[in-house]
Structure 1
Amino acid sequence: MKDHLGNNIKDEMDSIQIPEDKLNHTIQMAIERGKKDRGGRGRKWMYYSSAAILLFGLLIGSALVSPAMANVVSKIPYLGSIFESKGDVVMDMSDELREKGYPVNGLGVSFPEKVIRIGIEGDQDYFNRVKAEVEKVAMDFLKSRNYDAYTVKVSRYKEPKVPQKDKETQQRSEDFQLIDSRVREELGKRNVEVLQLAHLARPESIQLEIPNTTEATSDEIKEVVREIMSENNIRPIPVEIKKINMKKREQDRRWREILQTVSDDLLGKKDYKVRMVGYSVHPEPEIQAHITLSSKDEDAKDFARQLERVIDEFLKSDHMKERIKGDSYHITIYSKDDKVIN
Structure 2
Amino acid sequence: MEKDLKEVKDYYQQNYFHDEIANRIKDRVQQQIQPKRINWWRRLFYFSGAAVAAFGVFVVLAFFSPAVAEVAAKVPFLNMIFKSQPISDVILTTLTEKGYKVDGIGVRYEPKKVMSVRLQGTEEEVNKDKPEVKKIVKDLLLSRGFDAYGVRVEASQFTPPVLSEEEQKIEELNKQVFDVVSNVLKSYGNEEPIGLANKTIEINLPNTETKKDEIKQKIQSQLAEKGLGTFTVNAVVYNVKKREREMRWSDIITTIADGMFSSKKYKVIGVGYTNRSAEFMQITISTSVSSKDADYEEVTDRIEDTIREFLTSKETKEIIKDDAYKVFIRSKDKKERVITR
Q: What TM-score, normalized by structure 1, do the two folds share?
A: 0.71
Alignment-derived partner of residue 43 in structure 2: none
5 Å-filtered alignment, 1:106-145, equals: 106-112=104-110, 113-145=112-144
Q: 2:264: which partner in 1?
A: 270
Q: Distance in 1 between matches of 2:276 and 2:75?
A: 26
- Contact 1:212 1:243 (8 Å CA) reproduced: yes
| Residue 93 (structure 1) aligns with | 91
CA shift for structure 1 position 304: 2.8
* Preserved contact between residue 285 and residue 328 of structure 1 (Cα < 8 Å): yes
Name 1:318's counterpart in structure 2: 314
Instruction: Give runs of aligned pairs for residues 277-316 of structure 1, distance below 5 A.
Output: 277-283=271-277, 284-297=280-293, 300=296, 303-304=299-300, 307-316=303-312
**Mapped contact 1:194–1:210 kept (Cα < 8 A):** no
Give per-residue Cα distances to partners, 1:258-300, cap 9 Å, x unaligned: 0222334322211111122222222131222111102443653
- The residue identity in structure 2 corresponding to 1:326 is D
1:243 to partner: Cα distance:
2.3
Where structure 1 has 5 or more consecutive residues not aligned to the other structure, the ranges are 3-34, 46-77
> What corresponds to 2:152 in structure 1?
153
SS at match of 2:203: strand
Kept in 2: contact 1:211–1:245 (CA 8 A): yes
Residue 308 of structure 1: how far off its partner (Å): 2.5
Q: Distance in 1 between matches of 2:204 and 2:53?
A: 32
Tell me the C-alpha RMSD between the 2 structures. Answer: 3.0
The whole-number CA distance in structure 2 between the counterparts of 1:320 and 1:137 is 31
Q: Supply the AA of the counterpart residue of 2:238.
A: I
Instruction: Kindly state the Cα deviation for residue 150 of structure 1 after the two structures are TM-superposed.
Output: 0.3
8 Å Cα contact 2:184/2:215 also seen in 1: no
Residues in 1 aligned to 2:285 and 2:54: alpha-carbon distance in whole angstroms: 25
* Correspondence list, 1:53-72, <5 A: none
Residue aligning to 1:48: none
- Partners of 1:87 and 1:331 in 2: CA distance: 25
Change (3 A) 1:109 1:186: closer
Q: Deviations over 1:191-224 (max 9, x none)?
A: 34231221034xx5100112322231x2211211
Residue 196 (str. 1) matches residue 193 (str. 2): yes
Aligned residues, how many?
275
Contact in 2 for aligned 1:116/1:150 (Cα 8 Å)? yes
Q: 1:310 to 1:135 in 2, by over 3 A?
A: closer
Measured after TM superposition, the shift of residue 246 of structure 1 is: 2.7
Percent identity at matched positions? 30
Letter in 1 for 2:193: Q
Are 2:172 and 1:206 equivalent residues in the alignment?
no
Change (3 A) 1:81 1:44: farther
* Conserved? CA contact 1:312–1:331, under 8 Å: no
Q: CA deviation at 1:81?
A: 2.1
Cα deviation, residue 250, structure 1: 2.3
Bigger radius of gyration: 1
Q: Deviations over 1:64-104 (max 9, x none)?
A: xxxxxxxxxxxxxx994224233322222222211221111
Distance 2:314 2:116 in 1: 37
Q: What is the correspondence of 1:163-182 to structure 2 with a 5 Å cutoff?
A: 163-165=162-164, 167=166, 169-182=167-180
Q: Which blocks of at least 5 consecutive residues in structure 2 are unaligned?
A: 3-30, 39-47, 57-73
Larger RCO (CA under 8 A, 6+ residues apart): 1
Listed one character per residue, the Cα deviations across residues 167-195 of structure 1 (whole Å, up to 9, x for unaligned) are 1x433322222122123324444x34231
